Amino acid sequence: MAGTAFKPDISIKLLDDITAWEVWNDPVIQYGFFGTSALSLDTEFKSAYRQTFGNAKPDANFAFASLATRAFNMIDNVVAIDFERSEDELTVDLVLTSTNDKPKSSIEGFFQFPGDSTAVEFDYWSIGALNSGMGALKAKAELGGGQYANWTVLHEIGHSVGLMHTHDDETGNPRASVGKFMDNERYSVMSYNGAANATKYGHAVSLMALDIAALQALYGAETYAMGDSTYTLMSAKGGKLSLAEGDVQIGRAYYSIWDSGGNADRIDYAGGKKSVLINLNDATLDTSGTSADIAELISQLRVTNFFDSMSSKLRSGIVNELYHAGGFFSQVLDVKKGKYVGTDGGFSIANGATIEDATGGKANDLLIGNEYDNSINGLNGDDTILGGAGEDRLSGGAGKDWIDGGTGNDFLWGGAARDVFVFSTGYGTDTIMDFGEDDRINLKKMANNSQADIEQNGLDLVITFNSGDVLIVKNATFEEVNGHFIL
């Protein structure tokens, strides 16, 4: 049993709208899995269960123990309170049971909110129950995937710690602050709208970005993944799912990254044979508009060939401000009807988490940096790399690459084949490290009145613009670079 309190003041309306009025007020919350004895613990438990499942008997053993344990661990990783498993009826706070006894309900499950059932005066506990007889909840995950049951378990346990639906329960419409665009499992496991129609893949294996932010607003943020972590994207059935701290691997599953440490955290698709989109920007939680940094990245993206090859849905996830609050996705791409589309799964980055680096695969990739100092490597393929703000190190690798460092003093490598380096007013000092005879320097976005002083500094060509921006081309002369500008 545990105490409860009114939730703290939450200044962000989006988060306030999806959190319950009461929260747990103990530093450690105990959860337990119970069989037929669950209903005898509390008359309020029995009443709540009967309202949903009628006279169906609870299973002898809770059917979703491994998924629920994983769900509680995922919550523990992101919030300041701790969760421990206990079957002690005198101390347990959250009681979970299941039923396969032909329950008189099509409901997948329920879980009470904090404070819904009273154990003794000023001490509370909650019961949750899941429908183990439902076919969709019996489906096992494909290799590396997130199954339907994982989403359901996360959803119901979310209620038990104070998360509400992303829709209005009376009207069924999305809450106004969430909107129809973010009323989806990809942004919150508390949505009724799944990220995929499948049962064996395409679902959340962690809380998503809105859930993490909401729970951190209620309970505070946990320190987690303090070293240099790797978050690996895999193609469908490309390997085992791993949710280990600092070494996460997902196939067709959704995972939102909470990472509070490290200087070289990386989203990785090295070795992957398909195209990939990696976006290092975190969820903004801001539904009022687009930040200056994101707006600049969108502007840089719109002029690329890759943007023209993206499906409208894939584009919208990046350029439409109504999605930004819930996060940007990194995901393996397929090609359908000549356009890139996202596969069923991917990483988002929770608000306040910082991922510095990205590595592409063997095909044509879109790799997008953030406001921090990024190290981005496209490897093979004709890659499009946008560094964003910060002092970045961007490498296209083999293939015909488009490399735009953005603002900040950046170091740029094109690699083999004909590469295009983009430079513009406000970019600071960029250095092209390996300019080749087939490469081009794109200056189309320089201010109309731009003028430049060109000088040879030893082996390097230095171009200083009247805006104060400087472009250095290593181991090159004006004669070698002249004629390679795109104006």
What's the confidence (pLDDT) of residue 391?
Answer: 98
Q: Which residues of the chain have pLDDT under 50?
A: none
What's the confidence (pLDDT) of residue 264?
Answer: 97
DSSP at 144: T
What's the confidence (pLDDT) of residue 404?
Answer: 98
Contact 153, 68 (CB under 8 A): yes
Question: Cα 462 to chain center, whole Å?
Answer: 40
What gap in Å lies between CA 321 and CA 325, rounded to an integer?
Answer: 8
What's the confidence (pLDDT) of residue 132?
Answer: 95
DSSP at 274: S
Please name the amino acid found at residue 149. Answer: A
In tens, the pLDDT along 405-459 reads 999 999 999 999 999 999 999 999 999 999 999 999 999 999 887 899 999 999 9
Size of the chain in residues: 487
In tens, the pLDDT along 34-60 reads 999 999 999 999 999 999 999 999 999
pTM of the model: 0.97
What gap in Å lies between CA 231 and CA 255, rounded to an integer?
Answer: 10
Alpha helices in 18-109, H assignment, sequence order: 43-53, 65-78
Q: Which residue has the tokens 């988060």?
A: 15
Which residues are bridge partners to 452 per DSSP? 465
| Radius of gyration of the CA atoms of the chain, in A | 25
